[in-house]
């Protein structure tokens, strides 16, 4: 599986370079050749404890992410988001209509429960902000302070269907959590024994376009 992902990544880079060399390409054309792709967060020097900008390129949305232990951080601030998996919407519209920031723990929503969606109707996650509150146990922190959600270029203002899926291992860059045509709108964190590796993602909420 690791070899497959490596080869797929190399193929993606070759496709981008080839298209640019031929003078017929844009990054959007390259994205269109892939169902999903990984982008660096902490691995790219982006602090997942700050909500500065979207992680996903415009026109794409989160479908999974990879948590990584940081032993040089305080245990309340580990794990961090190492990389994120993004996927274009089925219409292949490479623009967003708008982006908005919404409160999660900062708005009193418990990110350790499978509650309501964090994103407004018709929008999907493109980034989020981890907070390390010290009144939590270090095995339950960090939590999700805020989320950034984006709407498609031609927003319908609503979702099609939404449902929860079980996440097997949020510490590995595996397959997408959300099935084809659906994207993340919330997730449920679960605590555990190791303060640097926990919390992990237990479940993810995925929604489709209408």
For the whole model, what pTM was predicted? 0.83
Whether the per-residue pLDDT at 30 is higher than 50: the answer is no
* Residue range of the domain that includes 117: 36-208
Domain match, 4 and 78 both: no
pLDDT score of 92 more than 80:
no
3 state DSSP class of 207 = strand
What DSSP assignment string belongs to 70-132? Answer: -TTS-GGG-SEEEEEEEEE-TT----EEEEEEEESGGGT--TTS--S-SSPTT-EEEEEEEE-
- Whether residue 1 is found in the same domain as residue 45: no
* Dihedral pair phi/psi, residue 161, rounded to 5°: -120, 150
Are 52 and 154 in the same domain? yes
Q: What is the pLDDT of residues 2-19, one digit of tens each?
A: 333 433 343 333 333 332
Residue 173 has, within 13 A of its CA and on its CB side, a CA count of 21
Residues 29 and 81 in one domain: no
- Number of domains within the chain: 2
Residues 6+ apart with CB under 8 A from 3: none
* Rounded Cα–Cα distance for residues 13 and 7 (Å): 10
Tell me the three state secondary structure of residue 69: coil
Residue-wise pLDDT tens digits, 111-167: 999 999 999 999 999 999 999 999 999 999 999 999 999 999 988 889 999 999 999
Domain identity same for 51 and 4:
no
**Do residues 7 and 43 both lie within one domain?**
no
Same domain, 56 and 130: yes
Say whether both 2 and 74 belong to one domain. Answer: no
Q: How confident is the model at residue 34 (pLDDT cuts 50, 70, 90)?
A: low
Taking a C-beta distance cutoff of 8 angstroms, is the pair 128, 148 a contact? yes
Is the same domain home to 22 and 66?
no
The verdict on 64 and 22 lying in the same domain is no
Say whether both 14 and 110 belong to one domain. Answer: no
User: Buried (b) or exposed (e) across 76-95, using 16+ Cβ within 10 A?
Assistant: bbbbbbbbbbbbbbeeeebe
Same domain, 64 and 159: yes
Share of the chain above pLDDT 70, in %: 84
Report the 3 state secondary structure along 45-63: CCCCCCCCCCCCCCCEEEE
């Amino acid at each position: 599986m690791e070899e497959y992902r490596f080869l797929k990544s190399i193929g993606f880079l070759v496709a981008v370079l080839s298209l640019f060399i031929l003078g017929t390409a844009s990054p959007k054309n390259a994205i269109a050749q892939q169902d999903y792709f990984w982008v660096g967060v902490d691995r790219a020097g982006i602090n997942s404890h700050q909500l500065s900008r979207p992680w996903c390129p415009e026109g794409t949305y989160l479908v999974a992410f990879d948590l990584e232990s940081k032993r040089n951080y305080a245990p309340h601030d580990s794990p961090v988001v190492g990389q994120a998996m993004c996927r274009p919407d089925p219409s292949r519209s490479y623009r967003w209509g708008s982006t908005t920031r919404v409160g999660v723990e900062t708005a009193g929503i418990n990110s350790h429960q499978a509650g309501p969606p964090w994103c407004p109707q018709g929008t999907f996650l493109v980034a989020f902000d981890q907070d390390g509150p010290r009144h939590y146990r270090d095995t339950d922190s960090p939590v999700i302070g805020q989320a950034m959600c984006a709407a498609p270029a031609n927003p319908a203002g609503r979702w099609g269907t939404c449902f929860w899926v079980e996440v097997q291992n949020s510490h590995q860059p595996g397959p997408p959590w959300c099935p084809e045509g659906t994207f993340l709108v919330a997730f449920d964190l679960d605590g555990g024994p190791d303060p640097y590796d926990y919390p992990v993602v237990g479940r993810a909420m995925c929604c489709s376009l209408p």
